Each structure stands twice: as C-alpha cells, then as structure tokens.
Amino acid sequence: MAKLYFRYGTMNSGKSIEVLRVAHNYEEQGKKVLLLTSVMDDRFGVGKVVSRIGMHKMATVVDENLDMIELARIERPNCILVDEAQFLNKEQVAQLIEIVDDLDIPVIAYGLRADFMGQLFEGSDALLAAADTIEEIKTVCWYCDKKAIMNMRCKDGEPIFHGEQIQIGGNESYVPVCRKCYASKRKSTSI
C-alpha cells in the first residue's frame, strides 16, 4: 500500500540532496522515478533539482496547469519525488493524495515547513495535515549548535523580518537557525 510522505527541513538541511539520493537509489535498481519541482524555484533554472554540493537532475515542472494525476497514469512510475513541496497549493496536494490512494504510487514530498516569519506555507500546511508519514530532516543552527527549526532571511548578511512570504534564494538570502537565536536576532533588530 502506497503512502504520502512529507520530509521537511530548514534551508540548507539537505532536502534536495536527499531527493537526488532517493531518485538515484530507485533508478539504480531499474525502477522508474517521476521527479517533480515547483515552477517557482528558478535559482538554477526552472525544472532543475539542484543540491548545494553540486549534484543536479532535470525534473518535471509543477505549475497550475500540470495534471499530476494524468501524468502519473501515463508514466506509471514506481515512486514520485517532489522537491520544493512547500510551493504546492492545496489542490496540488489533493492530486498527490489521489495518486497515492487511487493509483497506489508512493509520493515523497520534500520542502520547508515554514517561511522566514515562522508561518506555514500552503503546501506544507496541506502536507502536514494529510501525509501518512512526516519526517524532519535536521541541521544545526548557523549561530550555535542547537537544532535549526527556523529559516532566517538575510540581506547583506543582516537578518530581516519583513517582506513577501516567497523570495527565492539560497545561502545569500537565508540561514537555518534555532528558535532561541531567531528570537534573539529578531529582538536585537527591533531595538
């Protein structure tokens, strides 16, 4: 019986390398993987899953027009992997649920849980509510040795706590931090 998995972590926790690793494991066994990524992540070109350590792979782009159910029916993969799943909307998560439940294809979605203000993304909210299995991909705080659970947005190396929910970026724009360091930096910038 297939399951819907949501594996979340902060920026720089290794989500994309995990996507690529799992894809490689399936493909090395001669199994078919359908790799999906959001149209919103254009850091390295639309339709590319790229890890900070340099590995990359082309993926099918998820936008508002993609019928993932029909694509899964046509492709019949052994597994579907979704990178940047926080950018999905509720209807797209509902499609993933239907793929799991009706087509019996496992789906593993990777993404951020919350934005730089600590608010859930729409896709993450829907995945947290519906996933059969929820797993955290851990990393350490940029400033101390505690587990990072927050994404701190930075501009010119300084933390910022305002702006649009979605701003695509990497290490130049975000650092993973623990809740205590996040609160401390937030407090010090509001003085």
Q: For 142-160, how does the pLDDT look when each residue is reduced to its tens digit (9 = 90+)?
A: 999 999 999 998 888 787 8
- Looking at the structure of the chain, the number of domains it has is 2
The verdict on 59 and 107 lying in the same domain is: yes
Query: Is the dihedral angle over the CA atoms 119, 7, 41, 142 positive or is it negative?
Result: positive
* Angle (deg, nearest 10), helices 122-130 and 90-103: 30
Q: Decide if 142 is inside a domain.
A: no
Q: How confident is the model at residue 51 (pLDDT cuts 50, 70, 90)?
A: confident
Please give the radius of gyration of the chain, using alpha carbons only, rounded to the nearest integer.
17
Q: Is residue 88 part of a domain?
A: yes
Judgement on whether residues 102 and 175 belong to the same structural domain of the protein: no
Domain-located, residue 145: no
Question: Do 22 and 52 have their domain in common?
Answer: yes
* Domain span at 58: 4-136
What does the pLDDT read at residue 162?
77
Query: Which one of 84, 91, 136, 164 is the catalytic residue?
Result: 84
* 163 shares a domain with 132: no
Burial class (CB in 10 A: 0-12, 13-18, 19+), 104: exposed
Select the more confidently predicted residue: 96 or 53: 96
Asked if 9 and 100 sit in the same domain, the reply is: yes
For residue 61, how many other CB atoms are within 10 A of its CB?
A: 17
Rounded to 10 deg, the angle between the 90-103 and 68-75 helix axes is 30
Q: Are residues 42 and 126 in the same domain?
A: yes
pLDDT value for 172: 64
Give a yes or no: residue 143 inside a domain. Answer: no
Average confidence (pLDDT) over 86-91: 96
Same domain, 131 and 155: no
Is there a catalytic annotation at residue 84?
yes
Residue 45 maps to a domain: yes
pTM: 0.91
pLDDT at 49: 80
**Which residue would you say has higher pLDDT here, 151 or 167?**
151
For 56-75, write each residue's pLDDT tens digit: 789 989 999 999 999 999 99
Measured between alpha carbons, how far is residue 120 from residues 82, 126, 128, 166, 167 in Å? 18, 9, 10, 12, 15
Q: Do 87 and 169 belong together in one domain?
A: no
**Do residues 98 and 184 both lie within one domain?**
no
53 assigned to some structural domain = yes
Residue 164's pLDDT is what? 74
User: In this structure, which amino acid lies at residue 191?
Assistant: I
Residues 50 and 93 placed together within one structural domain of the fold: yes
